Amino acid sequence: MEKVRYEKRNRIGYVTLNRPEVLNALDDKINKELWSVWNDFDKDDSLDVAILTGAGKAFCSGADLKTFIPKWEKANMLDIRRNVPSGIGGGITRGQHRIFKPIIAAVNGHAIGGGFELALACDIRIASEKAKFGVFEVRYGLHQGDGGIVRLVAIAGLATALELSLTGREVTAEEAYRLQLVNRIVPHENLMATAEQYATMIIGNSQQAIRSAKETILDVVGRTLADALKLETINAYSSLGDFSEARERLAQFYARGKNAEKA
């Protein structure tokens, strides 16, 4: 691949946007490569978690407007409808958004425009102290179209979604944390190590339970309380399967407890 680096180590898929000369802007080529990456990650049984980051000083500066605007300025409604099944970032914003393996964003720098949408599409966001965020699309006659509004409302609430989307202002990592847009802020040099720590914690859990939990969280959004409670119960108990993994993990837990008592 030319514009995406994809490595596999210790059950982690490392996905790096690799267009540093244009701050990892997304064009058709990088989106196509990312689609293949996410499809492989989803199907590869040797991988449990992915970490997404950017090469150079930016996470992602959004859509490459030099190619994006010419592509869509003469588009018709049929072209737009054909675009619906496949969002930016290889589809994790829309199209491959129901990959139930966790995806961690290691936000190493600017995540603006579509890059902000891409970060919001990840399940956990770890930000470098150098990270910046913003709905910069509105500065150029556009607004979010790849899940940015939907996820901004869901993650940070209506007031924050309105303020950031209407002002188009830049948000520092510290403010992003206060607004619950990111889960952690760390020194820049500790970014990948922290993302790997989160990945390791996830890998240490039951993957069957993890994937069912992510699926359930995505499915309960927007449902009535009664429907959401019913769905959670069905998914939780059906994910146990024949209870063999639960029995094995409980046996290990009890064995550790007995060993601790003897010590």
137 is catalytic: yes
- Residue 129 among the catalytic residues: no
- Cβ neighbors of 206 (< 8 A, separation 6 or more) are 245, 246, 249
131 tagged catalytic: no
Given 62, 91, 113, 114, the catalytic residue: 114
Among the options 25, 63, 106, 121, which is catalytic? 63
Inter-residue contact 24 to 18 (CB < 8 Å)? yes
Each residue's pLDDT, cut to its tens digit, for the chain (263 residues) gives 899 999 999 999 999 999 999 999 999 999 999 999 999 999 999 999 999 999 999 999 998 878 877 777 788 888 878 888 888 889 999 999 999 999 999 999 999 999 999 999 999 999 999 999 999 999 988 899 999 999 999 999 999 999 999 999 999 999 999 999 999 999 999 999 999 999 999 999 999 999 999 999 999 999 999 999 999 999 988 877 767 877 787 787 777 776 666 65
Catalytic residue chosen out of the listed positions 137, 147, 173, 199? 137
Catalytic-labelled residue, pool 54, 105, 117, 145: 117
Report the candidate in 186, 40, 26 with the shortest Cα–Cα distance to residue 108: 186
